[in-house]
Amino acid sequence: MAPVSVLGLAYEAIVLGGFAVQLAVQPKARTARGAVTALLRWSLAVNVGVAGLMAAYAHTARAAETARSIGWPPGSPFQFEVAMAGLGCGIAGILCIWLGGLFWWATAIISGTFLLGAAYGHLRDIAVSGNMAPGNAGVILYTDILVPLVHLLLLVTLSRMRPDAAAGARS
């Protein structure tokens, strides 16, 4: 498995690369509303969907290695619970490819709450125990904060551009 920091940066590269390709090949995506929609769809699918599925995999199939990368002792039963939260977010994020509107809001709220809560846990662990492990204080900490904020910004922007996006219409 790739180190957490490399994987976190790879997700952002996939989002931006997919978004750029979509802009290049789909004229509809070149409008302001189309661009915000495309970027949000890519980000929800990758940063929530793929990342959530990979987190579920990492916290189950590679639990001991993942725990060590975070600076946790291996063997905690809570790690399975983190995996299931990641799995739920992952499934919702992948469904964002086809579903929009309020489903995007719900997915962003649920995953954002989880990610911001995880960021709080990382920061608390840094403050209390000085845990600077790459899976605790590296790129993951920044993406746990920035991804939910970007999703919120894009959702608010989209709802202001197209009021029916906030009312549950497919985006």
Least confident interval from 35-39, 79-83, 93-97, 132-136: 132-136
Q: Is residue 170 assigned to a domain?
A: no
Q: How many domains does one find in the chain?
A: 1
Q: Is residue 104 assigned to a domain?
A: yes
137/93: higher pLDDT: 93
Q: Is residue 168 assigned to a domain?
A: no
Domain of residue 41 covers 4-162
Q: Is residue 169 assigned to a domain?
A: no
Tens digits of residue pLDDT in 130-166: 989 888 888 889 999 999 999 999 999 999 985 444 4
Q: Is residue 146 assigned to a domain?
A: yes
pTM: 0.86
On whether the CB atoms of residues 51 and 118 are closer than 8 A, the answer is: no
Q: CB within 8 A of 13, min separation 6: which ones?
A: none
Q: Is residue 133 assigned to a domain?
A: yes
Task: Give the model's pLDDT for residue 9.
Answer: 84
Instruction: Choose among 120, 110, 108, 8: nearest CA to 58.
Output: 8
Residue 168 reports pLDDT greater than 90: no
Q: Is residue 83 assigned to a domain?
A: yes
Tokens found for residue 102? 């309020």
Place of tokens 């180190």: 3
Instruction: Choose among 29, 50, 59, 166: nearest CA to 109.
Output: 166
Helical segments of the chain, H only? 4-25, 32-43, 51-60, 63-70, 78-95, 102-129, 134-137, 139-161, 163-166
On whether the CB atoms of residues 122 and 136 are closer than 8 A, the answer is: yes
Q: Is residue 87 assigned to a domain?
A: yes
